[in-house]
Amino acid sequence: MILINDLRAAYGPLPVLFGFDLSVARGETLALIGANGAGKTTTFAVMTGRLKPQTGRVSVNGRDIAGLTPMDIVSHGLALVPEGRQLFPSLTVEENLLVGAHSRRSGGWSLERVYEIFPTVAEFRNRPSTALSGGQQQLVAIGRALMSNPEVLLCDELSLGLSPAAVDTVYTALQKLRGEGLTTVIVEQDIARALSVSDRFACMRHGQIALSGPSVTADRAEISNAYFGMR
Ligand SMILES: Nc1ncnc2c1ncn2[C@@H]1O[C@H](COP(=O)(O)OP(=O)(O)OP(=O)(O)O)[C@@H](O)[C@H]1O
Protein backbone atom coordinates (compact mmCIF):
# COMPACT_ATOMS: atom_id res chain seq x y z
CA MET A 1 0.00 0.00 0.00
CA ILE A 2 2.81 2.46 0.92
CA LEU A 3 6.07 2.04 -0.93
CA ILE A 4 9.06 4.27 -0.38
CA ASN A 5 12.05 3.84 -2.69
CA ASP A 6 15.45 5.47 -2.38
CA LEU A 7 14.11 8.51 -0.56
CA ARG A 8 16.53 11.41 -0.24
CA ALA A 9 15.70 14.79 1.27
CA ALA A 10 17.49 17.85 2.62
CA TYR A 11 16.78 21.11 4.42
CA GLY A 12 18.58 23.51 2.11
CA PRO A 13 22.18 22.33 1.96
CA LEU A 14 21.74 19.94 4.92
CA PRO A 15 21.04 16.38 3.76
CA VAL A 16 18.79 14.51 6.21
CA LEU A 17 17.41 11.42 4.41
CA PHE A 18 20.11 9.42 2.68
CA GLY A 19 18.18 7.03 0.47
CA PHE A 20 16.12 4.25 2.01
CA ASP A 21 13.33 1.87 1.09
CA LEU A 22 10.30 1.17 3.26
CA SER A 23 6.98 -0.54 2.70
CA VAL A 24 3.79 -0.73 4.75
CA ALA A 25 1.09 -3.24 3.85
CA ARG A 26 -2.63 -2.44 3.88
CA GLY A 27 -4.04 -2.62 7.41
CA GLU A 28 -0.58 -2.88 8.97
CA THR A 29 0.73 -0.77 11.86
CA LEU A 30 4.39 0.15 11.42
CA ALA A 31 6.39 1.73 14.25
CA LEU A 32 9.08 4.10 13.01
CA ILE A 33 11.60 4.41 15.80
CA GLY A 34 15.03 6.01 16.15
CA ALA A 35 16.97 8.54 18.20
CA ASN A 36 16.41 12.31 18.08
CA GLY A 37 17.44 13.67 14.70
CA ALA A 38 17.34 10.27 12.95
CA GLY A 39 14.91 11.60 10.32
CA LYS A 40 11.50 10.24 11.39
CA THR A 41 9.63 13.56 11.31
CA THR A 42 11.37 14.48 8.06
CA THR A 43 10.10 11.22 6.54
CA PHE A 44 6.57 12.23 7.58
CA ALA A 45 7.20 15.73 6.17
CA VAL A 46 7.96 14.23 2.75
CA MET A 47 5.04 11.78 2.95
CA THR A 48 2.60 14.61 3.74
CA GLY A 49 3.90 17.08 1.15
CA ARG A 50 5.54 19.48 3.59
CA LEU A 51 9.01 18.82 2.17
CA LYS A 52 9.88 17.96 -1.42
CA PRO A 53 12.27 15.01 -1.72
CA GLN A 54 15.48 15.44 -3.71
CA THR A 55 14.99 12.05 -5.31
CA GLY A 56 13.04 8.89 -4.69
CA ARG A 57 9.50 7.69 -4.83
CA VAL A 58 6.65 7.58 -2.32
CA SER A 59 3.58 5.76 -3.58
CA VAL A 60 0.21 4.98 -2.05
CA ASN A 61 -1.78 2.27 -3.79
CA GLY A 62 0.56 2.60 -6.78
CA ARG A 63 0.09 6.36 -7.14
CA ASP A 64 3.18 8.50 -6.76
CA ILE A 65 2.58 11.24 -4.18
CA ALA A 66 6.10 12.61 -3.64
CA GLY A 67 6.14 16.34 -4.37
CA LEU A 68 2.34 16.82 -4.34
CA THR A 69 0.85 19.54 -2.13
CA PRO A 70 -0.34 18.62 1.39
CA MET A 71 -3.99 19.08 0.28
CA ASP A 72 -3.53 16.74 -2.69
CA ILE A 73 -1.89 14.17 -0.45
CA VAL A 74 -4.84 14.25 1.97
CA SER A 75 -7.08 13.59 -1.01
CA HIS A 76 -4.92 10.54 -1.81
CA GLY A 77 -5.79 9.16 1.63
CA LEU A 78 -2.94 10.14 3.96
CA ALA A 79 -3.67 12.02 7.17
CA LEU A 80 -1.21 13.25 9.78
CA VAL A 81 -1.63 13.49 13.55
CA PRO A 82 1.17 16.02 14.07
CA GLU A 83 3.65 16.16 16.90
CA GLY A 84 2.29 18.42 19.65
CA ARG A 85 -1.30 17.93 18.37
CA GLN A 86 -1.52 21.45 16.91
CA LEU A 87 -5.20 21.99 17.67
CA PHE A 88 -6.65 25.44 17.06
CA PRO A 89 -6.96 26.94 20.55
CA SER A 90 -9.65 29.45 19.60
CA LEU A 91 -11.94 26.73 18.22
CA THR A 92 -14.18 24.28 20.02
CA VAL A 93 -13.52 20.56 19.92
CA GLU A 94 -16.16 20.08 17.23
CA GLU A 95 -14.82 22.96 15.14
CA ASN A 96 -11.36 21.40 15.33
CA LEU A 97 -12.79 18.11 14.10
CA LEU A 98 -14.52 19.87 11.22
CA VAL A 99 -11.21 21.39 10.10
CA GLY A 100 -10.17 17.81 9.29
CA ALA A 101 -13.17 17.43 7.01
CA HIS A 102 -12.03 20.32 4.81
CA SER A 103 -10.38 18.19 2.12
CA ARG A 104 -12.47 15.16 2.88
CA ARG A 105 -12.58 12.04 0.72
CA SER A 106 -15.69 9.91 0.55
CA GLY A 107 -15.86 7.30 3.28
CA GLY A 108 -17.41 6.27 6.54
CA TRP A 109 -15.87 8.70 9.04
CA SER A 110 -18.14 11.45 10.35
CA LEU A 111 -18.53 13.50 13.54
CA GLU A 112 -20.93 10.84 14.81
CA ARG A 113 -18.46 8.01 14.23
CA VAL A 114 -15.61 9.91 15.87
CA TYR A 115 -17.86 10.57 18.88
CA GLU A 116 -18.91 6.95 18.94
CA ILE A 117 -15.35 5.65 19.01
CA PHE A 118 -14.08 8.40 21.38
CA PRO A 119 -16.99 9.12 23.80
CA THR A 120 -14.88 11.50 25.92
CA VAL A 121 -14.47 13.72 22.87
CA ALA A 122 -18.26 13.79 22.40
CA GLU A 123 -18.69 14.91 25.99
CA PHE A 124 -16.55 18.01 25.38
CA ARG A 125 -17.70 18.76 21.82
CA ASN A 126 -18.76 22.36 22.55
CA ARG A 127 -15.86 23.23 24.83
CA PRO A 128 -12.74 25.09 23.68
CA SER A 129 -10.06 22.53 22.78
CA THR A 130 -7.79 24.12 25.41
CA ALA A 131 -10.22 23.06 28.16
CA LEU A 132 -9.34 19.40 27.58
CA SER A 133 -6.51 17.43 29.14
CA GLY A 134 -3.48 16.56 27.00
CA GLY A 135 -4.72 13.00 26.43
CA GLN A 136 -8.19 14.20 25.45
CA GLN A 137 -6.66 16.75 23.08
CA GLN A 138 -4.66 13.96 21.48
CA LEU A 139 -7.90 12.06 20.83
CA VAL A 140 -9.29 15.20 19.17
CA ALA A 141 -6.16 15.39 17.00
CA ILE A 142 -6.65 11.75 15.96
CA GLY A 143 -10.36 12.40 15.36
CA ARG A 144 -9.53 15.43 13.20
CA ALA A 145 -7.26 13.25 11.04
CA LEU A 146 -9.99 10.60 10.75
CA MET A 147 -12.46 13.23 9.51
CA SER A 148 -10.61 13.30 6.16
CA ASN A 149 -11.47 9.59 5.71
CA PRO A 150 -7.86 8.45 5.39
CA GLU A 151 -6.57 5.05 4.36
CA VAL A 152 -3.28 5.83 6.05
CA LEU A 153 -2.84 7.50 9.42
CA LEU A 154 0.58 8.94 10.27
CA CYS A 155 0.98 9.58 14.01
CA ASP A 156 3.96 11.64 15.17
CA GLU A 157 4.94 11.14 18.83
CA LEU A 158 1.45 10.65 20.26
CA SER A 159 2.75 10.27 23.80
CA LEU A 160 4.94 13.39 23.88
CA GLY A 161 4.27 15.42 27.04
CA LEU A 162 1.44 13.19 28.26
CA SER A 163 1.09 11.50 31.66
CA PRO A 164 1.41 7.69 31.65
CA ALA A 165 -2.36 7.39 32.20
CA ALA A 166 -3.07 9.69 29.25
CA VAL A 167 -0.66 7.71 27.07
CA ASP A 168 -2.59 4.54 27.97
CA THR A 169 -5.85 6.24 26.93
CA VAL A 170 -4.40 7.35 23.60
CA TYR A 171 -2.93 3.96 22.76
CA THR A 172 -6.13 2.17 23.76
CA ALA A 173 -7.85 4.44 21.24
CA LEU A 174 -5.26 3.54 18.63
CA GLN A 175 -5.83 -0.17 19.26
CA LYS A 176 -9.53 0.38 18.58
CA LEU A 177 -8.59 1.86 15.22
CA ARG A 178 -6.54 -1.21 14.31
CA GLY A 179 -9.83 -3.05 14.06
CA GLU A 180 -11.03 -0.49 11.50
CA GLY A 181 -8.60 -1.60 8.78
CA LEU A 182 -6.57 1.61 8.78
CA THR A 183 -2.93 1.46 7.72
CA THR A 184 -0.95 3.26 10.43
CA VAL A 185 2.58 4.52 10.83
CA ILE A 186 3.53 5.69 14.32
CA VAL A 187 6.64 7.56 15.35
CA GLU A 188 7.17 6.81 19.03
CA GLN A 189 10.09 7.41 21.42
CA ASP A 190 9.00 4.69 23.83
CA ILE A 191 10.35 1.58 22.10
CA ALA A 192 8.47 -0.92 24.29
CA ARG A 193 5.21 0.90 23.62
CA ALA A 194 5.98 1.17 19.90
CA LEU A 195 6.63 -2.56 19.61
CA SER A 196 3.55 -3.49 21.64
CA VAL A 197 1.14 -1.62 19.34
CA SER A 198 2.70 -2.41 15.96
CA ASP A 199 2.96 -5.32 13.53
CA ARG A 200 6.39 -4.27 12.26
CA PHE A 201 9.05 -1.78 13.21
CA ALA A 202 11.69 0.14 11.28
CA CYS A 203 14.54 1.77 13.18
CA MET A 204 16.04 4.89 11.58
CA ARG A 205 19.57 6.11 12.11
CA HIS A 206 21.25 9.02 10.28
CA GLY A 207 18.50 9.23 7.66
CA GLN A 208 18.43 5.54 6.77
CA ILE A 209 16.69 2.40 7.98
CA ALA A 210 19.20 0.60 10.19
CA LEU A 211 16.97 -2.34 11.14
CA SER A 212 13.41 -3.53 10.48
CA GLY A 213 11.31 -6.59 11.16
CA PRO A 214 8.21 -8.00 12.86
CA SER A 215 7.57 -6.33 16.24
CA VAL A 216 6.61 -9.54 18.00
CA THR A 217 10.01 -11.14 17.49
CA ALA A 218 12.04 -7.93 17.80
CA ASP A 219 15.31 -8.40 19.64
CA ARG A 220 15.81 -5.55 22.12
CA ALA A 221 19.62 -5.79 22.05
CA GLU A 222 19.65 -5.66 18.25
CA ILE A 223 17.30 -2.65 18.32
CA SER A 224 19.51 -0.84 20.85
CA ASN A 225 22.49 -1.44 18.60
CA ALA A 226 20.64 -0.09 15.58
CA TYR A 227 19.18 2.83 17.57
CA PHE A 228 22.45 4.00 19.08
CA GLY A 229 24.65 3.04 16.19
CA MET A 230 26.73 0.39 17.86
CA ARG A 231 26.94 -1.84 14.83
N1 LIG B 1 13.20 22.69 9.47
C2 LIG B 1 14.45 22.20 9.57
N3 LIG B 1 15.50 22.90 9.08
C4 LIG B 1 16.75 22.41 9.17
N5 LIG B 1 17.07 21.23 9.72
C6 LIG B 1 16.08 20.52 10.24
C7 LIG B 1 14.71 20.93 10.19
N8 LIG B 1 13.93 19.99 10.78
C9 LIG B 1 14.78 19.01 11.17
N10 LIG B 1 16.05 19.32 10.85
C11 LIG B 1 17.23 18.49 11.09
O12 LIG B 1 17.01 17.27 10.36
C13 LIG B 1 17.50 16.16 11.11
C14 LIG B 1 16.38 15.14 11.26
O15 LIG B 1 15.37 15.70 12.06
P16 LIG B 1 13.95 14.99 12.31
O17 LIG B 1 13.10 15.97 13.06
O18 LIG B 1 13.46 14.42 11.06
O19 LIG B 1 14.40 13.80 13.27
P20 LIG B 1 13.50 12.88 14.18
O21 LIG B 1 14.02 11.50 13.99
O22 LIG B 1 12.08 13.11 13.92
O23 LIG B 1 13.92 13.37 15.62
P24 LIG B 1 13.05 14.03 16.80
O25 LIG B 1 12.60 12.87 17.59
O26 LIG B 1 14.06 14.88 17.51
O27 LIG B 1 11.95 14.82 16.17
C28 LIG B 1 18.02 16.71 12.42
O29 LIG B 1 19.41 16.86 12.29
C30 LIG B 1 17.35 18.05 12.53
O31 LIG B 1 18.15 18.95 13.25
Q: 127 CA to middle of ligand 1, Å?
A: 34
Domain ranges in the chain are 2-228
* Whether ipTM exceeds 0.90: yes
Atom of ligand 1 nearest to the CA of 189: 25
Residue 206 has a pLDDT of 94
Residue type, 182: L
Residue 209 has φ and ψ, to the nearest 5°, of -90, 115
Q: Summarize the confidence of residues 20-31 as an average pLDDT.
A: 95
Q: 184 CA to middle of ligand 1, Å?
A: 21
Residue 144 has a pLDDT of 96
Residue 107 has a pLDDT of 86
The residue whose CB lies within 8 Å of the most ligand 1 atoms, and thus the one to mutate among 7, 8, 11, 80, is: 11
Q: Summarize the confidence of residues 74-78 as an average pLDDT.
A: 91
Fold adopted by 2-228: Rossmann fold (3.40.50)
Residue 108 has a pLDDT of 87
DSSP code string of 121-157? HHHTTTSBGGGS-HHHHHHHHHHHHHTT--SEEEEE-
Residues in the chain: 231
Nearest residue to 151 (alpha-carbon basis) of 45, 47, 227: 47
Q: 205 CA to middle of ligand 1, Å?
A: 12
In this structure, what DSSP letter does residue 105 have?
P
The pLDDT tens digits of the residues spanning 212-224 come to 999 999 988 899 8
Residue 164 CA: distances (Å) to CA of 34, 105, 133, 158, 178: 21, 34, 13, 12, 21
Q: Give the global pTM.
A: 0.92
Q: 45 CA to middle of ligand 1, Å?
A: 10
